[in-house]
């Protein structure tokens, strides 16, 4: 029943008119948030974010306690467009600031695909917040593969108003994938760098992504980027509500 209520809230928020909105209410020692953006700095898909340029519907809720404990559920993809699948990310963790300049966060995420249940997976994550900059690490155990990610978001240091975030992930496949030249691939890595800056009410994002695979080896690619080879993407977003 609890999961159904959470998913229903996410579905109600999954509307273009509700984009970038957050509804917040205090319930005693708890803080409840309903919104169309993830409520956690780390628990928003550190390893599996929505792909750059994605226009999928999304929404969820976040419930936190004054002690630092929190739990929530977020759907980065409602599966409403052709070729997409419903995804529900449930998370639980603990966040503790030492002072205004330093804090840490630890938690776990369960990725669920109701229509593709064998693909369910778990992820452990942790990170530091230093002067507004986030540094994180995550380990995920998926069916027939393992992924390890390092992440840095220099949001607290913005020279000329420019934000920078970086991600590097190594992937280890349980079953090697054969490629055209007869060899097999079991390990590869990918990375991305994003530069962002607000301009006249529009969020401008320049994203470069690449991987250790190229040419015919790209047939074995199944990483986080939308493309195996180097890709430069310019994305502009504006919230109207």
pLDDT (0 to 100) of residue 170: 96
Q: Which residues contact 124 (CB under 8 A, 6 or more apart)?
A: 107, 108, 138, 139, 140
How far apart are the two ends of the chain, measured CA to CA in Å?
A: 31
Q: Which residues contact 142 (CB under 8 A, 6 or more apart)?
A: 119, 121
Count of residues in the chain: 241
Burial class (CB in 10 A: 0-12, 13-18, 19+), 50: middle
Taking 3-state DSSP, the helix, strand and coil percentages for the chain, each rounded to the nearest 5, stand at 10, 55, 35
pLDDT (0 to 100) of residue 122: 86
pTM greater than 0.85 (yes/no): no
Q: How far is CA 49 from the centre of its chain?
A: 3
Domains of the chain: 2-237 (2.40.160)
Taking the CB of residue 170, how many other CB atoms lie within 10 A of it?
Answer: 16
pLDDT (0 to 100) of residue 82: 67
Torsion of CA 62, 77, 135, 159, to 10 degrees: -100
Phi-psi region of 12 (alpha: psi -120 to 50; beta: other; left: phi over 0): alpha
- Structure-block tokens of residue 170: 């190594």
For the chain, 241 residues long, give each residue's pLDDT as a single digit of tens: 334 344 434 444 444 434 456 678 888 888 888 877 666 655 554 544 444 444 455 678 888 898 989 988 888 776 666 666 788 888 899 988 888 789 998 999 888 887 776 677 888 999 888 888 889 899 988 878 899 999 998 877 777 788 899 999 999 998 999 988 888 999 999 999 999 988 888 889 999 999 999 998 999 999 888 899 999 999 887 766 5
20 contacts 36 by C-beta, under 8 angstroms = yes
pLDDT (0 to 100) of residue 47: 43
Of all helices (H) and strands (E), which one includes residue 29?
Answer: none
- Separation in Å, CA 219 to CA 77, 177, 211, 215: 25, 9, 12, 8
């Amino acid at each position: 029943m609890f999961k159904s209520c959470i998913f229903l809230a996410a579905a109600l928020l999954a509307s273009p008119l509700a984009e970038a909105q957050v509804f917040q209410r205090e319930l005693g020692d708890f803080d409840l948030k309903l919104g169309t953006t993830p409520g956690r700095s780390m628990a928003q898909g550190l390893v599996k974010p929505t792909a750059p340029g994605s226009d999928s519907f999304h929404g969820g809720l976040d419930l936190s306690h004054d002690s630092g404990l929190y739990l929530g559920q977020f759907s980065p993809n409602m599966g409403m467009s052709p070729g997409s699948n419903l995804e529900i990310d449930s998370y639980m963790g603990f966040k503790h600031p030492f002072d205004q300049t330093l804090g840490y966060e630890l938690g776990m995420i369960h990725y669920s695909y109701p229509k593709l249940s064998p693909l369910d997976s778990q992820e452990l994550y942790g990170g530091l917040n230093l002067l507004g900059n986030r540094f994180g690490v995550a380990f995920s155990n998926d069916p027939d593969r393992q992924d390890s990610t390092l992440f840095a978001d220099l949001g607290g240091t913005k020279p000329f108003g420019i934000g920078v975030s970086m991600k590097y992930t190594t992937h280890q496949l349980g079953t090697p994938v054969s490629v055209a030249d007869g060899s097999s691939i079991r390990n590869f890595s990918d990375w991305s760098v994003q530069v962002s800056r607000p301009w006249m009410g529009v969020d401008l994002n320049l994203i470069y992504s690449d991987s250790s695979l190229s040419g015919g080896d790209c047939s074995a690619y199944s990483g986080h980027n939308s493309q195996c080879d180097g890709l430069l993407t310019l994305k502009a977003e504006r919230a109207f509500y």
